[in-house]
Structure 1
Amino acid sequence: MIESSKNIVFFTGAGISTESGIPDFRSPGGIWTKMAPIQFQDFLSSEEMRRESWRRKFEIDKTIKIAQPNAGHYAIARLIKHGKASSVITQNIDNLHQQSGIVEENVIELHGNGTYASCLTCSTRYELEIIKQSFLGKDELPLCKFCGGLVKTATISFGQAMPVEAMQKAEEAALSSDLFLAIGSSLVVHPAAQIPMIAKQNGAGLVILNREQTPLDPYADLVINDEIGPVLSEATNR
């Protein structure tokens, strides 16, 4: 299917990054089974919740910052580099697709990026190391130096609106594809999980590669329940 396709689009979830040592959020033993997610409205209204959010962020970063792209990430990067694939739509916030060599404009991040922060009012970008030093060293919560707004990791929290531009780009990419590969996603988080069906209903082939079954399996042209890195490496090296 890959060889005969002219415009492949990838859609990736947490499953591709667990092979880099990053824990996922929803599966048994995942992060949300150990602690409840902080709702966006609670982050806005409660200083205590903002402190807890940043505390969790810097604790989780101990794992995320040492993670490196794996065979699955590099397989996707190869296909994009060689012009077989145009983009990767990702639910992940770990920046590993960019680290694998995919240029920024070819990565569509539906849930944001956890490697930096931004002001919720004016969108000014802030690097995490500066925030970390002030938070851990002086117990200071970050505020925007330009407008005084709240600063938050550049990720989409529970209850926070999805990024309009990223969703639009994802839908356009899905509509342009002739083969859509959904990889490492449970395909239960909406509205992101609707995107593979947009491609399918527009005539694209749909392949799902995930360790467990997904709700969209009955609609797929091919379903593979296996490890992601080895399968993608073999498929892209033919």
Structure 2
Amino acid sequence: MEFPLHFRCPISMELMQDPVTISTGVTYERKNIEKWFNTYKKTTCPATMQLLEGLDLTPNHTLKRLILSWQEQNTASSSSSSGGIEHNEVALLLRTIESTPFKVSSLKKLRSMIEKDDEIKGDLVKFGGTEVLGHIIFQILVENSDFVTFRACEEAMGVLYHLQLSDDEVLIQLLSEPDCIKSMAIMLQRGSAEARLHTVAILRRMAKIDCGWGQVKSWAKGKID
């Protein structure tokens, strides 16, 4: 369901549940801006990159009421109009993911689609989704990669978790790349609990497949046994 732009958190581009405003006047989802400040030790506004004099968070009660009201009004119409997933949505989502720096919302939708319909997994591969996901994962190796990039990588790992390695040679080759292994190592160190679980599961599957990359198998077994 599409929702008004001003209901989106500028960091995750997802619908806000607990909106808070910082000193620049920009409103964020509380957990996202707290992670920006506390985990990544940033003292700037993510949207404007303006240096902040203080890190106070002010609950935006007005915006929260508007979001709740909008959700109530749209719940009934959404449930009555929901239908089968159109497979061409995958191609549209992948194009959106490639073209926008705010990828998390689209990746979440893609993940939800492949969880519900196994045929969507085939569409993902057919439309080049493996390469798109690989590009996202490699981005956390770039110096000064930001919180938004890292969140996108976490979601990309969530999508990969639902794919069958043995059915996709391109995916196996992607995951065997040294840069991908390095990215997964970073995910194990800094990722959310869910992202770490997804990464461990992927590494276990990789270690069981005889692909001729013994060094990767040895590395994976040593890290997760």
TM-score, length of structure 2 as denominator length = 0.26
Structure in which a larger fraction of residues adopt strand: 1
**Structure with max Cα Rg:** 2
Determine which structure has the larger helix proportion and give its number.
Answer: 2
Give the TM-score taking structure 1 as reference length. Answer: 0.25
